[in-house]
Amino acid sequence: MARERLYLYDTTLRDGQQTQGVQFSTAEKLKIAAALDALGVDHIEGGWPGANPTDSAFFEEVGQTRAVLTAFGMTKRAGRSAENDDVLAAVMNAGTPAVCLVGKTHDFHVTTALGITLEENVGNIAASVAHLVASGREALFDAEHFFDGYKANPSYALSCLRAALDAGARWVVLCDTNGGTLPTEIGRIVGGVIAAGVPGDRVGIHTHNDTETAVSGSLAAVEAGARQIQGTLNGLGERCGNANLTALIPTLLLKEPYASRYETGVSHEALEGLTRVSRMLDDVLNRVPLKQVAYVGASAFAHKAGLHASAILKDPTTYEHIDPALVGNRRVVPMSNQAGQSNLRRRLAEAGLEVAPGDPALARILELVKTREAEGYSYDTAQASFELLAREELGLLPEFFEVKRYRVTVERRKNKYNRMVSLSEAVVVVKVDGEKKLSVSESMDEEGNDRGPVNALSKALAKDLGSYQAYIDDMRLVDFKVRITQGGTEAVTRVIIDSEDSSGRRWATVGVSANIVDASFEALLDAVRWKLVRAGAA
The number of beta carbons lying within 10 Å of the beta carbon of residue 13 is 27
Site for a second copy in 507-526 (CB under 8 A): 513-518, 521
Report in angstroms how near the CB of residue 164 gets to a second copy at its nearest: 19
Site for a second copy in 426-455 (CB under 8 A): 443, 449-454
Site for a second copy in 148-167 (CB under 8 A): none
The distance of Cα 109 from the centroid of its chain, to the nearest Å, equals 34
Q: What are phi and psi of 78, to 5 degrees?
A: -70, 155
Whole-number Å distance between alpha carbons of 295 and 326:
9
Q: Indicate the SS3 state at residue 471.
A: helix
Query: If residue 532 lies in a helix (H) or strand (E), which one and from where to where?
Result: helix 516-534
Whole-number Å distance between alpha carbons of 150 and 193:
9
> Is 291 one of the binding residues for a second copy (CB under 8 A)?
yes
Nearer to a second copy, 228 or 424 (CB): 424
Nearer to a second copy, 41 or 517 (CB): 517
Can you tell me which of 37, 120, 201, 210 binds a second copy, judged by CB under 8 A?
210
Site for a second copy in 34-63 (CB under 8 A): 51-54
The number of beta carbons lying within 10 Å of the beta carbon of residue 516 is 17
> Is 230 one of the binding residues for a second copy (CB under 8 A)?
no
Nearer to a second copy, 56 or 70 (CB): 56
Site for a second copy in 168-187 (CB under 8 A): 177-180, 182-184
The number of beta carbons lying within 10 Å of the beta carbon of residue 380 is 14
Whole-number Å distance between alpha carbons of 176 and 343:
45
3-state secondary structure 349-374: HHCCCCCCCCCHHHHHHHHHHHHHHH
Part in contact with a second copy (CB under 8 A); list of ranges 130-138, 167-175, 336-344, 459-467 = 336-344
Provide the 8-state DSSP code for 114. I
Can you tell me which of 16, 149, 231, 487 binds a second copy, judged by CB under 8 A?
487
Terminal C-alpha separation, the chain? 63
Can you tell me which of 89, 116, 397, 482 binds a second copy, judged by CB under 8 A?
482
Residue 295, C-beta contacts closer than 8 angstroms, at least 6 positions apart: 246, 247, 250, 274, 275, 322, 327, 329
Can you tell me which of 38, 87, 118, 294 binds a second copy, judged by CB under 8 A?
294
Site for a second copy in 80-99 (CB under 8 A): none
Q: What are phi and psi of 437, to 5 degrees?
A: -130, 130
Report in angstroms how near the CB of residue 211 gets to a second copy at its nearest: 5
Whole-number Å distance between alpha carbons of 125 and 131:
10
Report in angstroms how near the CB of residue 28 gets to a second copy at its nearest: 6
> Is 319 one of the binding residues for a second copy (CB under 8 A)?
yes
Nearer to a second copy, 276 or 287 (CB): 287
> Is 201 one of the binding residues for a second copy (CB under 8 A)?
no
Part in contact with a second copy (CB under 8 A); list of ranges 236-244, 269-277, 352-360, 530-538 = 236-244
Query: If residue 155 lies in a helix (H) or strand (E), which one and from where to where?
Result: helix 154-166
Report in angstroms how near the CB of residue 536 gets to a second copy at its nearest: 28
Site for a second copy in 361-420 (CB under 8 A): 370-371, 373-374, 376, 378, 380-381, 404-414
Q: Measured on CA atoms in the order 530, 533, 537, 538, is the torsion positive or negative?
A: positive
Site for a second copy in 106-135 (CB under 8 A): 109, 112-113
